[in-house]
Structure 1
Amino acid sequence: MVSGSSADTLLLQVASNTDFIVATQLKPEADGTITITASPGPENDNSYGFFYLGVMKVIYEAEPSTQTPQLSLLWPNGGEYWQVGKSPVIAWKSQNVGSMTIEYTYDGGQVWQVIDTVFAAQQSYAWQVPPTPSQQCLVRLSADTVSVVSNDFFEIADDTTICRIAVIGSSTAAGAGASVPDSAWVNRYRTQVFQNNTRVEVANLAKGGYTTYHLLPTGTPIPPGISITIDEERNISKALSLEPYAVIVNLPSNDAANLFPAADQLTNFAAMQAAADSAGVELYICTTQPRNFSNPAQVAIQKEVRDSILSIYSDHALDFWTPIADSNGYILSQYNSGDGVHLNDAGHRLLAETVLEKGIHQTDCAPIINNTAGVKPEEPKVVVYPNPFGEEVNVNLILTEASDLEIKLFDLVGNTLVNRSELHVPANKPTSLKLNTLPDQYRGF
């Protein structure tokens, strides 16, 4: 029985039906309702009276829309670099548009070729880029009464270059807190950079719960008392084996959760930096992120590491603190996923925007990979913090050659304040020194 503004009874032998159909046509009730009631009927001649309904199809009569159709093209809209064989997405926004035709041209608009006809409501179309290399490509979307074309040319390139960015870290980079994977900051970033330039690929090795110790270079000795094993499938060494031109490290708060001192964390970051330098790869360190710690000591560690990363790594530091942090070191409520640890979709979006603004993806990766891979830095890497310092100062360094070491600390007029010697300092391993024997008259400066 099918009922709406009228009713009709349909009889069908469905006990073993494979190709018989019945059909009717009627209008719905005033509120738009059509009711379908299925039950055994006189055509059911089996002893049990059971029936199967395999498929039911409802066809609506088309009605002209009374609203103005709107259509705008998001990608490609000018300046993109899309490689033959890759599958970026043609994306758009639409309202009050039914089906539409997608076309492209590679000769500046003289000849248009149909890609497909789709429903505008799907908002995107995965397109395998055809073998028509050109710098004068455009996409056009056309419906009955509306049409839109790319604002400027994009390029289709017969080029197989891959420019890889690797991400290592913990739960935030792995996507925790986001409602769906596409909303996590790494995936947002991956989509954005790939859509603009299909050469750029983002490899994500992050895993929840990880600390700086998990990501140390393979073979790095773990200090006594630290019961953590380096993950050789997700650490800096694994990331470098993917032959990236850049690595991003995102470790928000797990070290502080374990009360690992700031100095130890910075020593571990320095070891990752040394490994990246040896491979000729750019390393970007994200600051700590706010977390709703109840222990003030943990908040203090977070802030010290944040400030040190910004000072030490400068233009290779990514500020993941300022956009999302309250003054007490907690996550701003509008970005809290609810657990006081992870970010919601809005917070992840801000992190993705922070990385995009850094412009890592805009680097021409070819000369970095081809010309500098395997080249060790000519000078030792030395990090001094805090800066300025009070009663003590920390010195982290990595030598390119094994050597004896002498450290001298001078004041502004050249007076020697500290003279310290270290024998047999190994090459390519982090060495941390703490100078806390300053003369009394210099303490506090």
Structure 2
Amino acid sequence: MDPAPSVPIGVKETSTIVILGSSTAQGFGASSPDSSWAKKLEVFMNKKSKSNFVNLAYGGFTTYHVLPSGCTAPEKIQPDTARNITKALSYKPTLVIISLPNNDVANNYTNKEIVENFGKLTHILDSSKIQYIVFSTQPRDFTTLEQRRQITTLNDTLKAVYGYHFNDFLAALSDTDYFIKPEVAYGDAVHINNAGHTIIFNAISKHALLTNSCKCSVSN
């Protein structure tokens, strides 16, 4: 994995930020689009410099949905060519945010294959010299402790792999039994509410790759 850049990322006035993700990144759980972390981030960034935001996130997406076009695996979901990494690159992004918190676990994919899929995505971005931020997992009220713990072990692995590129907020959303904290729960056992979206926004707005880009930080 590349070390932290020694100089700030040069986000130009016409920089483009692309989001790859699933329902939370699309805005589910927020009471309005303006309360979602993605919209909050767009408004925040545009206070300092003009940025084009392209949100390709879609409810139910897994890592398999966003793999490169033509990257197929037997008996697995095929890439969605309208919302995958190949489509993201077509916008010539300055920064790509990857937010795929737990649908892979819900689909009974192993951590090994999930991490391999993340590796395919980030290898393309590294090769294209495009900066990226990988979001942490999010808690989900799975009935089995095994799946709830998988969310945490997957998060630990991704954090170890991506280091500087990782944005970790799992603990702020989880209770001691790996369920969604009641105060941030939307109520469907899957999504987070406005308070949860705000926690994610606060985490991403302070991430070094982003703050170095826009030379600003959020005030609490």
2:22 corresponding residue in structure 1: 170
Q: Which runs of 4+ in 1 moved over 6 A?
A: none
Q: Does the Cα contact within 8 Å between 2:72 and 2:78 map onto a contact in 1?
A: no
Count of paired positions: 203
Deviation string, structure 1 residues 112-167 (Cα, Å, up to 9, x no partner): xxxxxxxxxxxxxxxxxxxxxxxxxxxxxxxxxxxxxxxxxxxxxxxx83111111
1:225 corresponding residue in structure 2: 75
TM-score by length of 1: 0.44
1:289 corresponding residue in structure 2: 138
Q: Pick from 95, 107, 126: which aligns with 1:277?
A: 126
2:7 corresponding residue in structure 1: none
Query: Post-superposition shift, 1:339?
Result: 0.8
1:353 corresponding residue in structure 2: 202
Q: Pick from 15, 20, 41: which aligns with 1:189?
A: 41
3-state DSSP of counterpart to 2:132? strand
Determine which structure has greater relative contact order: mean sequence separation of CA pairs < 8 Å that are 6+ residues apart, divided by chain length. Answer: 2
Cα distance in 2 for residues equivalent to 1:162 and 1:313: 27
Q: Does the Cα contact within 8 Å between 2:185 and 2:193 map onto a contact in 1?
A: yes
Cα distance in 2 for residues equivalent to 1:162 and 1:363: 16
Cα distance in 1 for residues equivalent to 2:209 and 2:41: 11
Deviation string, structure 1 residues 35-73 (Cα, Å, up to 9, x no partner): xxxxxxxxxxxxxxxxxxxxxxxxxxxxxxxxxxxxxxx
Q: Which of the two has greater helix per residue?
A: 2
Q: Does the Cα contact within 8 Å between 2:204 and 2:210 map onto a contact in 1?
A: no
Q: Does the Cα contact within 8 Å between 2:72 and 2:79 map onto a contact in 1?
A: no
Cα distance in 2 for residues equivalent to 1:238 and 1:295: 36
Distance 1:187 1:364, change over 3 A: closer
1:403-442 map, 5 Å = none
2:112 corresponding residue in structure 1: 263
Report whether the alignment pairs 1:326 with 2:175: yes
Q: Percent identity?
A: 35
Distance 1:165 1:360, change over 3 A: farther
Cα distance in 1 for residues equivalent to 2:147 and 2:75: 19
Query: Post-superposition shift, 1:179?
Result: 0.3
Query: Post-superposition shift, 1:364?
Result: 5.0
Q: Does the Cα contact within 8 Å between 1:166 and 1:204 map onto a contact in 2?
A: yes
Q: Does the Cα contact within 8 Å between 2:31 and 2:194 map onto a contact in 1?
A: yes
Q: Does the Cα contact within 8 Å between 2:136 and 2:168 map onto a contact in 1?
A: yes
1:204 corresponding residue in structure 2: 55
Q: Does the Cα contact within 8 Å between 2:13 and 2:49 map onto a contact in 1?
A: no
Q: Does the Cα contact within 8 Å between 2:169 and 2:200 map onto a contact in 1?
A: yes
Q: Pick from 238, 247, 263: which aligns with 2:87?
A: 238
Cα distance in 2 for residues equivalent to 1:300 and 1:359: 28
Query: Post-superposition shift, 1:363?
Result: 4.1
Cα distance in 2 for residues equivalent to 1:363 and 1:217: 28
Cα distance in 1 for residues equivalent to 2:174 and 2:210: 26
1:342 corresponding residue in structure 2: 191
Return the letter of the residue paired with 2:20.
Answer: I
1:374 corresponding residue in structure 2: none
Q: Pick from 147, 150, 158: which aligns with 1:301?
A: 150
Cα distance in 2 for residues equivalent to 1:361 and 1:262: 27
Return the letter of the residue paired with 2:100.
Answer: L
TM-score by length of 2: 0.88
Cα distance in 2 for residues equivalent to 1:350 and 1:299: 20
3-state DSSP of counterpart to 1:249? strand
- Output the aligned Cα RMSD: 1.5
3-state DSSP of counterpart to 1:322? helix
Query: Post-superposition shift, 1:253?
Result: 0.9
1:10 corresponding residue in structure 2: none
Return the letter of the residue paired with 1:225.
Answer: E
Query: Post-superposition shift, 1:208?
Result: 0.3
Return the letter of the residue paired with 1:169.
Answer: G
Q: Does the Cα contact within 8 Å between 2:205 and 2:211 map onto a contact in 1?
A: no
Q: Does the Cα contact within 8 Å between 1:237 and 1:275 map onto a contact in 2?
A: no
1:140-179 map, 5 Å = 161-179=13-31
Query: Post-superposition shift, 1:341?
Result: 0.8
Q: Any stretches of 5+ residues in structure 1 without a counterpart?
A: 1-159, 366-445
Q: Any stretches of 5+ residues in structure 2 without a counterpart?
A: 1-11, 215-220
Deviation string, structure 1 residues 261-309 (Cα, Å, up to 9, x no partner): 0000000000001111121101211111001110222112211210001
Cα distance in 2 for residues equivalent to 1:364 and 1:320: 21
Return the letter of the residue paired with 2:154.
Answer: V
Q: State which structure, 1 or 2, has the greater radius of gyration over its C-alpha atoms.
A: 1
1:1-80 map, 5 Å = none
